[in-house]
Structure 1
């Protein structure tokens, strides 16, 4: 991680290529979002966002990282504190990165946590249990940063259901997915979907109002997405007249309590 720290200092110190345009100059707004993952690209993502003066929305789960710890462990407090100070937005990605499997009667659901004590084991949860899982991230985030999450959540894999959406709504969280054109493709094989292909597709297809989703590191991708694509993606979108904002300013979420 030391190498990325050096890169972060250099990029943060470099003058921004283009100042963030005012709303009047924008031809549309793109909402960049990042889900936790291996965290191999965490420092680089922060540095590129700072370089371009772009604010994003981070969706947090306590996932195993390349450091051998977990992304919501106390060791990550300085990282998240710095992102809070920069003005980014934050939502829950469920604490143990819990995948929905199927809805059950009575508002219950079958789920499978990826991490934690029940990792890999199918569980039948009530709406209250699912809500508590979403809120676990908020509790930890307050412990790490002193700040609450924004009232947003994103289901792992983007897989929602009537029961999970209803459970989250009862505890005050609105689900934030992503636009079809906003799928970065960073979970795909880099042999089948090279970074250049993914970059060209995003620059061609993204439209104003779209939510874009990428991860803070994917274990399986041999050629990581962010080092090759994030900087030119932001540069290219700015050249097309787009501005950037967090989901706090998205029309579907900014009035959410």
Structure 2
């Protein structure tokens, strides 16, 4: 015989419905602000450490990918990196283009064209003039390769190498659906600077003292030139210090300036 549920059963059903919402609200209340960690490819010397640290803290970040020479003697978008990128996809991170050959903007030219200089690839070190369509093609090369490696395409965001943009470059990217992502002034990790002039302790203190709600933080997955690498010394204490201050972390999918772009 089927009748009305007992009071005990009804109470359990109500608890099962309300408690998760209350727990989510409590977590949101406990979060005093959000920091958006982003990582650009580089020498990849810190790729494993970055992944392990993010996993240990249950943090989702955003990665910007270019096909860069790595300390393993291969390239960051070679098939040899497929397992690494597949694992990051499975963990729920976000991914953007960093141009396939790590192409630097040099200047704007007439007719919407752009003077650029690739760091890698067939035209490494040679200045070229591209149309908007050519720049879009460079952004999409990363998407195509990432899809080959992981079965997933990139998110509709990109970061120009060095953060150098211009009206022509931004217009070109917009024409093929990409929004540019820079970083907050306090969000510059300093991992490209001289470790003698900017030691890790100084960089860590600067970040912890100045990062605020909504800031985008940028670091690399390894830098060739820095003698005292940033990530091994600073990533764990940076995250722990921000957590102690009540900050939470999210991908750019949740950033108010970019969330709408992910829904297109």
Please confirm whether the aligned pair reaches a TM-score higher than 0.5, indicating the same fold: yes
In 2: Cα distance, 1:118 partner to 1:173 partner? 24
1:222-241 matches, within 5 Å, as 222-241=227-246
Instruction: Select 2:62's aligned residue among 57, 62, 65.
Output: 57
Instruction: Select 2:153's aligned residue among 148, 155, 158.
Output: 148
Q: Which residue of 2 aligns with 1:161?
A: 166
The alpha carbon displacement at 1:205 in A equals 0.3
1:107-256 matches, within 5 Å, as 107-256=112-261
Deviations 1:213-237 (A, max 9, x none): 0000000000000000000000000
The alpha carbon displacement at 1:179 in A equals 0.1
In 2: Cα distance, 1:252 partner to 1:135 partner? 22
Stretches of structure 1 that go unaligned for 5 or more consecutive residues are: 1-20
Deviations 1:171-209 (A, max 9, x none): 001000000000000000000000000000000000000
The alpha carbon displacement at 1:24 in A equals 2.0
The alpha carbon displacement at 1:42 in A equals 0.2
SS, match of residue 22 in structure 1? helix
Deviations 1:104-134 (A, max 9, x none): 0000010000000000000000000001100
Deviations 1:54-98 (A, max 9, x none): 110000000000001100001000000000000000000000000
Deviations 1:23-80 (A, max 9, x none): 2211110000000000000000000000000110000000000001100001000000
In 1: Cα distance, 2:188 partner to 2:60 partner? 18
In 2: Cα distance, 1:62 partner to 1:173 partner? 18
In 1: Cα distance, 2:126 partner to 2:98 partner? 18
In 1: Cα distance, 2:166 partner to 2:65 partner? 20
Q: Which residue of 2 aligns with 1:34?
A: 39
Is 1:104 aligned with 2:109? Answer: yes
In 2: Cα distance, 1:203 partner to 1:195 partner? 12
**Normalization by structure 2: what TM-score?**
0.89
SS, match of residue 260 in structure 2? coil
RMSD value, Cα: 0.7
SS, match of residue 231 in structure 2? helix
Q: Which has the larger radius of gyration?
A: 2
Stretches of structure 2 that go unaligned for 5 or more consecutive residues are: 1-25
In 2: Cα distance, 1:248 partner to 1:133 partner? 23
